[in-house]
Structure 1
């Protein structure tokens, strides 16, 4: 399998970390939807990151759908999906909030970095920022109420999505979500970033490297 996309995308990084936690081998190709648009279009005409080239050549896209496919592998080390219905419900709640936080923070980045300053629509940015804060408040409340054991063998889909989203937010739009107001998310992120699967796929422009390298 080949994972296509840059690790500065929280969606690509979410998949890269999760595939490692699942114990599934893959090659990472850091192709940018902006700088390498034509190359990406040859891989996937939709030009959507992440994209996953399966062993048979079929290309899948969307982080959640890619991870659903990855969970079907009998050779995986473990599952990131809770088996218990109550735990699954809670985990899906976290995934939903984390992906909403990713979406809104990415929208803010695009609005500020890609749109000409004279065309930035302040009411839209304010609305999106409010949605981002609401998602982070929900995650903070959840993890403050029930802290998790942060280990390679215990993280769930929701934990990975949350940790990746929070790191992205604090790196890209820290002024939108003051870190000191979210101690539970800060603690989760700090612990997760120490894990080999996170260290092997650091946020940025690099390539997933062998764990421990």
Structure 2
């Protein structure tokens, strides 16, 4: 397999963490989708990373699709329950974490990709409101549990860890550590894992 992505993307990091946890071999190819010479559209018509190229040459898009598939390839470090409500609960954690990231990415794009005179502060504040509500919800759901799903490490932790790690990287002004000490404790614990330590955003 070949994973196409960047070192900064939280969505790419999520896939890289899962690949590491599952101990799967892959080739990592860096791609900057923002330069004119990018070839990402050759493999993903949406022009996004990550993109996973399978052994047969077909491409898989969307990090949520990728990690769910990768979890089926080996029994090592199962990150998703086999079915039912428990599985749906983990996927809801992932959806919420990704939603926080989605909103923050829109803020970053508004501030960095649009001329100042075309930027909408109302749009920025709308997205930041989603970020803060999402973080509050993640913290409330986590409570005093050692992991998002209770006592065991799962895809929920991978998703939440990649989200808050990226916020620290791109939005240091958002004091999620101070506001939500339980999320900070979780991320510090996750950061001790080689999968997280080796994929810190750059």
Report the TM-score, using the length of structure 2 for normalisation: 0.90
State yes or no: 1:148 paired with 2:152. no
5+ long unaligned stretches in structure 2: none
CA-CA distance at 1:114 after TM superposition: 1.2
The aligned residue for residue 170 of structure 2 is 172
- Counterpart contact for 2:18–2:67, Cα < 8 Å: yes
Q: 1:26 to 1:76 in 2, by over 3 A?
A: farther
Q: 2: CA distance between counterparts of 1:116 and 1:149?
A: 39
Q: 2: CA distance between counterparts of 1:88 and 1:39?
A: 35
**Count of aligned residue pairs for this structure pair:** 200
The aligned residue for residue 25 of structure 1 is 25
1:1-213 to 2 correspondences below 5 Å: 1-35=1-35, 37-73=37-73, 75-83=74-82, 85-148=84-147, 154-204=152-202
CA-based RMSD of the aligned residues comes to: 2.1
- Counterpart contact for 1:2–1:26, Cα < 8 Å: yes
Q: 1:157 to 1:35 in 2, by over 3 A?
A: same
- Counterpart contact for 2:144–2:182, Cα < 8 Å: no
Q: 1:56 to 1:97 in 2, by over 3 A?
A: same
CA-CA distance at 1:65 after TM superposition: 0.9
Report the TM-score, using the length of structure 1 for normalisation: 0.86
CA-CA distance at 1:177 after TM superposition: 4.6
Q: After superposing the two structures, state which structure 1 stretch, 94-103 or 84-93, moved more.
A: 84-93
Q: 1: CA distance between counterparts of 2:165 and 2:13?
A: 11
CA-CA distance at 1:86 after TM superposition: 4.5
Q: 1: CA distance between counterparts of 2:139 and 2:53?
A: 35
Q: 2: CA distance between counterparts of 1:134 and 1:149?
A: 17
1:137-170 per-residue CA deviation (whole Å, 9 max, x = no partner) reads: 01011112423299xxx42111100000001012
